[in-house]
Amino acid sequence: YYDPEFQALFKVQADFEQDMKRTPESQQLYGALIATIAKEKGIQPLHRGAVARVIEQAAREAGDREKLSLHIRDLADLISEAGFLAKEKGKESVEAFEIDEALARARKRGGRIQERFFEALEQGLRQIETSGEKVGQVNGLSVISLGRRDSFGCPTRITALTRPGKGKIVDIEREVELGGPIHSKGVMILASFLGSRYVRNLPLGLQASLVFEQSYGGVEGDSASCAELCALLSSLAAAPIKQSLAITGSISQQGEVQAIGGVNEKIEGFFDLCRMRGLSGEEGVIIPVPNVRHLMLKKEVVEAIAAENFFVYAVATVDEAVALLTDLPAGERGADGNYPEASLNGLVEATLVRFAQDLQAFEKPVEDEDEIGGTSDA
């Protein structure tokens, strides 16, 4: 763009992929690559369990269990550190244990900010609940990135308040200029969803506010829009949300829960908090169905899930999400056009109808002053 001679000097454009498809054939090639790296760096041979563990880590770094990362330098650094650990122990080969130990050491070296964050949670300076139930309050999940490889998930309390009003949903993050455009877009989409699903024959007489509690930096991305919508629906229906669950996912205007990034870090962040407080078997994370293919969770989380001490739920719609969060059936419109009264959607619509009626009654002009004890000549 800046150099007019660039096109004359560089005739061929090459765009390199950062990952490759994970197939039996590509895994064999990847194993050969790992052996070549170890040989070139003078590292002991890797046991097949260690090779498998490196390949798993490559899929995790690719962010997709069906792909493998092509960042070979990072791969070589991991193998080198594992080789050093094996040599220190006098082993003749590198095993899966050394790969796990090298990964743990790398996380610890880059984990200062994460440690401070969870220390604040432990001391109660940041308030996140992982037990009990609350109306209009949900645990959202975000990712703090400190570099290409150093990132961690952190739970965030999201709250919603509702009352009769002019149909405005106040995004407090946007109002104070802490919310980015993509986050604001997510809030506008959920507002559109509310208006299209409920009380379509009446004005949306709703005044609502949404906020990320104790958030002092910028908020960007739409991955919390499903959590924000669930908090709003909970507030409208007066239906408590289980605080033992956290949720991530973006929302469409049709109520579909869409894929997001950093799903592994988000799940692990909430798991680490719950484990720190003691797992009760009720904790879990709700994720979008399309993100299931991206799950490459660390060993501790996999073991907790296998023991049914922690759960990961995949949902396709907001109705599925709120049903899990509130233990209430979402409900579908019947032949009469109404939701079941005891369903969450029925409770939400009843509240919105009442809001609209209250607003109409409040704004109705008074035609006769005597009706409100008007004046007399006496």
Catalytic one of 69, 209, 223, 343: 223
Catalytic residue, from 67, 242, 266, 298: name it: 266
- Catalytic-residue membership of 223: yes
Residue 249 Rama label (left phi>0; alpha psi -120 to 50; beta): left
> How would you write 184-196 as a 3-class SS string?
HHHHHHHHHHHHH
Are residues 113 and 146 in contact, defined by beta-carbon separation less than 8 angstroms? Answer: yes
Q: Which residues contact 139 (CB under 8 A, 6 or more apart)?
A: 128, 129, 130, 155, 156, 157, 158, 227, 243, 245, 246, 247, 270
Q: What are phi and psi of 284, to 5 degrees?
A: 180, 175
Q: Confirm whether 215 is a catalytic residue.
A: no
Do you know the residue count of the chain?
A: 378
Q: Parallel, antiparallel, or unpaired for β 206-212 and 168-171? A: parallel
DSSP per-residue letters across 127-159: ----SSEEETEEEEEEEEESSSS-EEEEEEEEE
Please give the single-letter amino acid code of residue 117. Answer: F
Q: C-alpha dihedral over 183, 258, 261, 70, to 10 degrees? A: -140
Q: Whole-angstrom Cα distance, residue 140 to residue 163?
A: 23
Active site (catalytic) residues: 223, 266
